[in-house]
Structure 1
């Protein structure tokens, strides 16, 4: 990104922007003015339990000339929030992020706030003072200005307004229309002179109440220093002209709160918002410049970067180790695996994944045995290439970092690096940061849409979810006595990401803590003798075996009532909301199979059994099969749940929710045995 800061002498103008009356009546009131009636607010039924509500949130961005400084882009915001419950007190605190680069910095010339409380039928207000404002330095270039409004309690209304003045014309502020609390009115007004071209990117699942634009002629008025006159004194000049502009207005109203739900990536992927990217500057008679980036230029920049592509060509630091590996492993598949295992054990990941560039360099990371994600996997790329494999780095954005928009080729949207390697006509994605990962099985954090292959010959998008799959099989052998007392043995076998996730939990917590947590999870049963097999053999299925028993019998009179899926079945639908507009993102496909074999006690016969069922999702998206049979004095129940897509869109949510409703109902059904 080029950081555009246009200064005195390049443009001689002051931009003034005013929006007219508009077509929608805004509830925004003058700052500091509030009435008793404002404390009465009706929430939509869907958000009746909200901790707070945004009454209005109105922003505007416009350009102006600051005398002696140059062109600036201003951002103003005016927000009013009603605190409804104790949990809503957190909204009394907020912050503003300011950027500083190359000697230029954003400033906050205005920050004001009030807290309003209704006391004995009258409004009392308390002003935000300096003691409630403090700064936090996040990095050398990013500062956060925090503020907390005073005397906030349940029922308070808080209000704040601020203005940011920025020299960075590329940093036209984004706007979020949605929050984790309901927003009754959200409005963003932007005035852009024809001199500047911005790409607009909107996302989310809520409709605009207003999305409008109109042509306007804004008056520019500037006073500037024209140098020294004959007397040696500075000469001030003024200039007035009209510059064509476009005035934009976006409004959403009654925007529902966006809550964390099952199988989401990150909040930022789903929230309704609009973003801007500067793509060009066209000032008649003065300058024309393009800042538009393409994936080709991003690819070229990364290949030429000393902190990325160029570092891969420097290979002398591992030549001895690579020569030994090639001597010990002559077969290509074994050699590739050995290189992967060598890097994974030699260079430990330090946990950093906030950018895709080197921090200390490949040689230093290799010698010290520790590095960030780029250093670990670029070393792997270099070793594979030196061994003769076609290997390229792949940049991606992790699930917690957010999805990459293919329309926005920005390096900042990526925070992780893996490796794409060709072998026997197939391409594998590998990651040496995780001790449990396998070739073509990336850690779960990486399963987030597409990554970009950085390559001189094959640049392009790569699907990160590829063959990602979680498999789980549970087999239970159950013995019953005449009192309905249950004893049995459970065998649980997991593969793919199901095994990776469980292995990670065991290694993180330790076997003892994992065992304690496992027993506590199955507290309705007596669980004992837990044995774990293949814990460190990532290429093998992970196996758990344990004994189970009930403390009491399940017999009532002459009947025994047994729920076959009582231990490992799905007892609760993960999807609580009746509707969901955004996707359900599992990150992978999955299959769960439960097989329960029940010995029928002597003197008993089957009175009632669950009926078989087959349920499918539309477009072959999933399948649930359930069967129960009797053979050789045994009842065998088999349940298989298959999810054949890593992601289900909002339009499929109703089907998916009902799919789980049917599974929960079926897994709750009982086998009834009757004494002969």
Structure 2
């Protein structure tokens, strides 16, 4: 009877995961024979089983973390999954250890399972002052192999309980993490990512830790399971993967010693505000009129309009101080910046804050984490999460977010790196709070084209282009730094036309737009007496940036977009218009975006109107299949629209 129950359980487990793979550490012939993973045909490898168990050792009181993995190699690009690297951190009086490293490669040869074991000689260590890097490569790994690895890590660094990554570069069939945390350690537990648990259980283990004096602690025991986890595959229009990769992280909040002492590790925001206020690198650098006395010229201080004065002060900082590309919140000195004229983002924006407040313009610092640094933790203060500083000022009841590190950004425009949804506004009077960072105006690209046909097989005309908002920053910088190189790059990009008489007609670093005009010559495609002309001599998107089968994280443009293209073609009387493309009007769900393609023929003139609009700066993952189809249509229209003319 027991055998029957076991068989039924195994069959149930077998079919609940895959017809080829079973989520445990055993190796089966069917798994070695399998060549693909049905849920992701693009996968280079599949993590069949991923297991972790972390607990405090009853004898040593060290944190022990046990790891086991079973991985199937599906493609040549997955062979490097047999390479492992483990970091062991060092402290002043202790360092992490690793024990019992085991690894085996399984291959199917002549119908038999062949094992190749990792040897001790194949494990290498690289040492430096901060950590030890342990590296090993499993032997005989090839396409079709299954590899298993296990080891135990031991650490006395309890401030950071062992985190667990459920999601990674490969799909995961089954991931399980078990924890046992003594009650005298109180952690903030943060779950990142949108994938739900398949199973999550908690229980209490009495007297899991005991000291020689009769003191003891109970342990909170947890089991976390996720199944069928898709790989995290990076794609354009997102922030760092750290914002979305599914995982559990721990931050020690309070430690209750067996001797009765209580150490408060993680502070409240009220505590953090007090700390920042007296911080010599932060609070001591803000709102100090003595620091900026006599820095501003009379031409600025005499301005009576507050907004004009604020913009003048902003421009003064841009013109006189250079950002050194550093973002550290340490060794900050506004005094040194004033002297040296070069400084970090904290120094430059703190100088701007001092200058604005000295002129009676209320301004607050906003701590940020940049797009590449990940979201700052919201549930409790982690000051090390912040690597950037911007300012918020309110003038005539209108809010402005400002940053004086780039002369091509105008007053009220933040650099793209700072568009990371929110920051922490620091107000030492009423207390800090979270501030949403949102770009409300649309950024745009607009091209207006007028061309005339000619019987000598050339079309000539003129292009006027205008870029606003975030689309204007790069053209402004490229043109300002090297006008010749800017024009050459444009000529090289637009290979299907000849550009002459290029002229920039609207350019100031202090304005949020850039406009140019140039003459063009087009040589359309001739087949017999017919001319085939693609009206899109300038394309917004050469290809669809969205290529994944599915995407589990948001599509983050950072700001709202409008792309407009207008063309007027005057047809010579020697040509007859045979064919023009059909009109298209297509929208994303909930009016989140639209594409309009409209052509009209008026006598011997063809008017082309094309507009792509993204009404959201950030789209939820549910929009991905719609955005993918949307962009297919946009690219198809630009690449394959054809106007057919016939020479009479």
Q: TM-score range by the shorter chain?
A: 0.7 to 0.9
Q: Is the 8 A contact 2:122 2:137 kept in 1?
A: no
For the pair 1:559 / 2:530, whether they are aligned, the reply is yes
Partner of 1:154: 142
For the pair 1:88 / 2:75, whether they are aligned, the reply is no
| Distance verdict in 2 for CA 1:107–1:289, change over 3 Å | closer
SS for the counterpart of 2:42 is: coil
The Cα of 1:219 is off from its aligned counterpart by: 4.1
CA distance in structure 1 between the partners assigned to 2:580 and 2:69 by the alignment? 60
CA distance in structure 1 between the partners assigned to 2:416 and 2:323 by the alignment? 16
The Cα of 1:98 is off from its aligned counterpart by: 4.2
Partner of 1:629: 600
Q: Which aligned pairs between 1:173-322 and structure 2 lie closer than 5 A?
A: 173-217=162-206, 219-220=208-209, 222=211, 238=212, 243-282=217-256, 286-288=260-262, 290-322=264-296
The Cα of 1:49 is off from its aligned counterpart by: 3.1
Cα deviation code 1:483-538 (max 9, x no counterpart)? 65333322211010000133345567x44444444333333344455444555534
CA distance in structure 2 between the partners assigned to 1:125 and 1:167 by the alignment? 31
Q: 2:442 aligns with which of 466, 469, 480?
A: 469
SS for the counterpart of 1:320 is: coil
SS for the counterpart of 1:244 is: strand
Unaligned runs of 5+ in 2: 1-8, 15-21
Q: Which aligned pairs between 1:48-447 and structure 2 lie closer than 5 A?
A: 48-65=41-58, 67=60, 71-100=61-90, 103-110=92-99, 112-114=101-103, 116=105, 118=107, 122-129=114-121, 132-136=124-128, 142-143=130-131, 145-149=133-137, 151=139, 153-155=141-143, 157-217=146-206, 219-220=208-209, 222=211, 238=212, 243-282=217-256, 286-288=260-262, 290-327=264-301, 329-353=303-327, 355=328, 357-447=329-419
CA distance in structure 2 between the partners assigned to 1:527 and 1:45 by the alignment? 51
Q: Is the 8 A contact 2:35 2:74 kept in 1?
A: no
The Cα of 1:173 is off from its aligned counterpart by: 1.7
SS for the counterpart of 1:400 is: coil
CA distance in structure 2 between the partners assigned to 1:56 and 1:184 by the alignment? 6
SS for the counterpart of 2:390 is: strand
SS for the counterpart of 2:491 is: helix
Q: Is the 8 A contact 1:203 1:272 kept in 2?
A: yes
| Distance verdict in 2 for CA 1:534–1:115, change over 3 Å | farther
| Distance verdict in 2 for CA 1:327–1:362, change over 3 Å | closer
SS for the counterpart of 2:627 is: helix
Q: Is the 8 A contact 2:469 2:512 kept in 1?
A: no
For the pair 1:579 / 2:572, whether they are aligned, the reply is no
Please, what TM-score do these two structures have when normalized by structure 1?
0.84
Q: Is the 8 A contact 2:55 2:65 kept in 1?
A: yes
Q: Is the 8 A contact 1:74 1:164 kept in 2?
A: yes
The Cα of 1:621 is off from its aligned counterpart by: 1.6
Q: Which aligned pairs between 1:537-548 and structure 2 lie closer than 5 A?
A: 537-548=509-520
| Distance verdict in 2 for CA 1:46–1:262, change over 3 Å | farther
| Distance verdict in 2 for CA 1:246–1:24, change over 3 Å | farther
Partner of 1:652: 623
Partner of 1:226: none
| Distance verdict in 2 for CA 1:500–1:287, change over 3 Å | same
SS for the counterpart of 1:298 is: helix
Cα deviation code 1:552-611 (max 9, x no counterpart)? x43434433322224225453322234333211110001111011111122334333334
The Cα of 1:85 is off from its aligned counterpart by: 3.9
SS for the counterpart of 2:57 is: strand
SS for the counterpart of 2:613 is: strand
Cα deviation code 1:247-279 (max 9, x no counterpart)? 211122332211111211111112111122333
Cα deviation code 1:89-122 (max 9, x no counterpart)? 4434443344455x35441242625363648553
| Distance verdict in 2 for CA 1:336–1:599, change over 3 Å | same
| Distance verdict in 2 for CA 1:585–1:545, change over 3 Å | same
Q: Is the 8 A contact 1:106 1:164 kept in 2?
A: no
SS for the counterpart of 1:493 is: strand
The Cα of 1:54 is off from its aligned counterpart by: 2.6
CA distance in structure 2 between the partners assigned to 1:442 and 1:274 by the alignment? 32
Q: Is the 8 A contact 1:485 1:554 kept in 2?
A: no
Q: Is the 8 A contact 2:409 2:509 kept in 1?
A: no
Q: Is the 8 A contact 1:149 1:158 kept in 2?
A: no
Partner of 1:4: none
Q: Is the 8 A contact 1:358 1:372 kept in 2?
A: no
For the pair 1:29 / 2:19, whether they are aligned, the reply is no
SS for the counterpart of 2:286 is: helix
Partner of 1:15: none
SS for the counterpart of 1:451 is: strand
CA distance in structure 1 between the partners assigned to 2:267 and 2:369 by the alignment? 19
Q: 1:662 aligns with which of 625, 628, 633?
A: 633
Q: Which aligned pairs between 1:475-494 and structure 2 lie closer than 5 A?
A: 475-482=448-455, 485-494=458-467
Partner of 1:614: 585
For the pair 1:454 / 2:426, whether they are aligned, the reply is yes
Q: Is the 8 A contact 2:445 2:465 kept in 1?
A: yes
| Distance verdict in 2 for CA 1:603–1:308, change over 3 Å | same
Q: Is the 8 A contact 2:551 2:624 kept in 1?
A: yes
SS for the counterpart of 2:347 is: helix
| Distance verdict in 2 for CA 1:514–1:557, change over 3 Å | same
The Cα of 1:349 is off from its aligned counterpart by: 1.4
Unaligned runs of 5+ in 1: 1-20, 223-237
Q: Is the 8 A contact 1:115 1:127 kept in 2?
A: no
CA distance in structure 2 between the partners assigned to 1:63 and 1:43 by the alignment? 39
| Distance verdict in 2 for CA 1:391–1:104, change over 3 Å | farther
Please, what TM-score do these two structures have when normalized by structure 2?
0.87
Q: Is the 8 A contact 1:398 1:447 kept in 2?
A: yes
Cα deviation code 1:269-290 (max 9, x no counterpart)? 1211112233334568824555
| Distance verdict in 2 for CA 1:334–1:86, change over 3 Å | same
Q: Is the 8 A contact 1:35 1:123 kept in 2?
A: no
SS for the counterpart of 2:352 is: helix
